[in-house]
Amino acid sequence: MLNRELINYIVLNEIKVTSWSVKYKKLDFQLILINKRVVVGKAALDSVKLKGRSFLTLKDFNAEEIKHILWVSADLKNRIKHRSEYVPLLQGKSIAMIFEKRSTRTRMSTETGFSLLGGHPCFLTPQDIHLGVNESTTDTARVLSGLADIVLARVYSHSSLEHLDKDASIPIINGLSDLYHPIQILADLLTLQEHYGSLKGLTLAWIGDGNNVLHSFMMSLAKLGVNLKVATPKGYEPDANVTQEAQLLSKQFGTKLQFLTDPMEAARDSNVLVTDTWVSMGQEEEKKRRLKDFHGYQITMQTGSVAAPDWTFLHCLPRKAEEVDDEVFYSPRSLVFAEAENRKWTIMGLMVCILTDYTPQIPKLKF
């Protein structure tokens, strides 16, 4: 069975194939050989179909689907923020928000965003819902499927999301797990698109821990033509399976992917410098050792001195001074607060894509 990424690859590389058709996730894909070029049937790639789908990892979404989510997000930002329109696209709908971990940006962006769109958010803490403890995850998934239209879950284990998705009949959004943080990357991509005007050809340098945010970058950047350089201390490299998949994506889309231990080498000629917390929730007992292991990884103006002349800085927050100094964090090169605000517009765009057939009013973004 073909998947959408394989179809994209065939089309982009004009690979010779014989005529066939195949059904994949209720979509009909038709590929026909005409004059030694592949032509894809209209039902395949002309229209992006996101309604009803879960969003657990960007691994499951192709370039056009990611671009469409960002386009919808930018459109909603324009209509609601800049034109002061009321856009009740989610009127009468509700979202169940499960939070095993505390949050500022994920909770506020989802809660305010869903309300702005006319829907009703329901916030569920570990004191309200004991996922897989007092009630099985299967039962929780089935109950919420009858009470809400969509679930956003911020969990410790990614397997909890997969379990919810397996047993729910409504879409599940990953609000953060130990393996991925895909909604953060949507905000980062929109922020960079707004700043640079396009994403293709940029080089992003990740300097820090090989964590869930990095994993989500690794599952998306190559599809958008963005190069990635990763600098982590030894022992803090990204997950081996994610790395293997990222290498395949990089080869498929013709981007550069490097894994290093020297932060300055990663920063060299890069357009975007990115870091994240070195001590995530649940790792507090490792703090002393981690701070020692990450010595020399703080992003400073010296780090930026070898970057591209137009370099910018991103951090998903909350930020600690050892990760990036004040001079960079509060400088005009820092996009962190625009990035934080875009968490709202991109989660709104994602939810609209998943729950409606909305078509943006603004022209398509340049990527």
Beta bridge partner(s), residue 55: 173
Choosing from 150, 161, 186, 316, the catalytic residue is 316
**Could you tell me which residues come within 8 angstroms of residue 158 by beta carbon, excluding any fewer than 6 positions away?**
56, 174, 177, 178, 179, 180
Q: What is the DSSP string of 244-301?
A: HHHHHHHHHHT--EEEES-HHHHHTT-SEEEE--SS-TT-GGGHHHHHHHTTT--B-H
Instruction: Classify 85 in phi/psi space as left (phi over 0), alpha (psi -120 to 50) or beta.
Output: beta
Spatial distance between the Cα atoms of 350 and 346, rounded to a whole number of angstroms: 6
Closest by CA position to 359, among listed 72, 9, 11, 6? 72
**Could you tell me which residues come within 8 angstroms of residue 248 by beta carbon, excluding any fewer than 6 positions away?**
none
Label residue 49 exposed, middle or buried (CB < 10 Å: 0-12, 13-18, 19+). Answer: middle
> Taken in order 292, 294, 296, 302, is the CA torsion positive or negative?
negative
Angle in degrees, CA 206, 207, 211, rounded to 5: 70
What is the crossing angle of helices 336-355 and 63-76, to 10°? 110
**Could you tell me which residues come within 8 angstroms of residue 225 by beta carbon, excluding any fewer than 6 positions away?**
199, 200, 201, 253, 254, 255, 367
Please give the single-letter amino acid code of residue 33.
Answer: L
Q: Is 353 noted as a catalytic residue in this protein?
A: no
Q: Where are the beta strands (DSSP E) in 4-149?
A: 20-24, 27-34, 37-40, 94-99, 120-124
- Catalytic site residues? 316
